[in-house]
Amino acid sequence: GAGVSQSPSNKVTEKGKDVELRCDPISGHTALYWYRQSLGQGLEFLIYFQGNSAPDKSGLPSDRFSAERTGGSVSTLTIQRTQQEDSAVYLCASSSRTSGRSGANVLTFGAGSRLTVL
């Protein structure tokens, strides 16, 4: 697609419920990132995919969080047994990997999924 697409744009859920957030990256972009941004805070790295594999899962805050990517394209971030502190905007970004250590990738972000846990 023309840009990074995320759904849902807004999700209100009750504490303890599971939620799934979806990211559809720019066509051809091999790298995909998930970040979380709480109100008034900076971006918190969650996980990064290169193709379908996740070389860096270091940012996932707990085992309630998981993510997968299939077909080198769409990714799903799943939060189980949601807690109020999970309320945030979840941002997905993608980039085309052009090189290894010689240069980092420019990220294109989606508009985010705003999660509110009551």
Partner 1 sequence: RKEVEQDPGPFNVPEGATVAFNCTYSNSASQSFFWYRQDCRKEPKLLMSVYSSGNEDGRFTAQLNRASQYISLLIRDSKLSDSATYLCVVAVYADGLTFGKGTHLIIQP
Would you call 1 helix, strand, or coil by DSSP?
Answer: coil
Q: Tell me, what amino acid is at 65?
A: F
Paired with 57 in beta bridges are: none
Nearest distance from residue 81's CB to partner 1, in Å? 26
Chain residues 89-108 in contact with partner 1, contact rule CB under 8 A: 91, 97, 99-108
Chain residues 61-90 in contact with partner 1, contact rule CB under 8 A: none
Which H or E element spans position 92? strand 88-95
Q: Under the criterion CB under 8 A, does residue 118 sit at the interface with partner 1?
A: no
Alpha carbons within 13 angstroms on the beta-carbon side of residue 29 total 27
Chain residues 13-52 in contact with partner 1, contact rule CB under 8 A: 31, 33, 35, 41-43, 45, 48, 50
Nearest distance from residue 68's CB to partner 1, in Å? 18
Nearest distance from residue 16's CB to partner 1, in Å? 27
Distance CA 21, CA 23 (A): 7
Nearest distance from residue 42's CB to partner 1, in Å? 3
* β 53-56/43-50 pair status: antiparallel
Alpha carbons within 13 angstroms on the beta-carbon side of residue 14 total 0
Contact positions vs partner 1 (CB under 8 A): 31, 33, 35, 41-43, 45, 48, 50, 55-56, 58-59, 91, 97, 99-112
